[in-house]
Structure 1
Amino acid sequence: MENTFDHELIYSIFKLVWSRKAAEKNEDDELFNIEVGRASKKNRRTTANANALKVSCELLRIFVSEAVQRAAMIAEAEGSGKIEATHLERILPQLLLDF
């Protein structure tokens, strides 16, 4: 099996994003003074299924390896021995459309 991203790292990144989004949402809700007497979907904690986390890690691995391969092709065509930020910038639009 090829190397992949650490599941705990990806989960930590997801949790960080979820907590920031929840904080933004809470700030918006406070502006309107919304009070809910019972538990709602808004109050539940967001989690990731173990299989979903594995798939996310694999998708990120494939995405990064594809980006490196495409950037390497551009660098090679230009006669450069290393990949630079400009090479990644050139392949990024098409890469995002492909994924």
Structure 2
Amino acid sequence: MEDEPTFDPDLIHAIFKNVWTRRAQERARNEAEDVIEGEAAAGPSKKNRSTSANANGLKLSCELLRLFVTEAIQRAATIADAEGSTKIEATHLERILPQLLLDF
């Protein structure tokens, strides 16, 4: 399994950090709007903690993404082959994505 190509863990970590940062900023903006409107929370506010991922979590995320992309390509190739096409096109991916998302 080690020799199979996979996604770069540093890239996946950077993507996760980007999403976490955006969500934290959005959450802070929403909390600021609540305070301005006089709707302060009844309980203590949440601490703003830095979100992180450990190495095993990143490896697992990379493997899950690899499997997801591989399965998507295989399903789209099956549809393309059934239509007599030798290339996978966007329409083939569009046709398999709903079921693929339900399966994963």
RMSD: 1.7
2:83 paired residue among 78, 83, 93: 78
- The runs of at least 4 aligned residues of structure 1 exceeding 3 Å deviation read none
Q: Deviations over 1:36-68 (max 9, x none)?
A: xx9x75311000011011000000000000000
* 1:10 matched to 2:15: no
What letter matches 1:57 in structure 2? C
What TM-score results when the alignment is normalised by the length of structure 1? Answer: 0.91
Name the CA distance, whole Å, in 2 between partners of 1:75 and 1:58.
25
TM score, norm. by length of structure 2: 0.86
Match of 1:51 in 2: 56
What does the per-residue CA deviation read over 1:54-85, in whole Å, with 9 as the maximum and x for residues that have no partner? 00000000000000000000000000010000
Count of paired positions: 96
Tell me what 2:30 maps to. 28
Q: Percent identity?
A: 67
Q: Distance in 2 between matches of 1:14 and 1:32?
A: 27
Amino acid at match of 1:78: E
Say which of 68, 71, 80 aligns to 2:73: 68
| In structure 1, distance between residues paired with 2:13 and 2:53 | 8
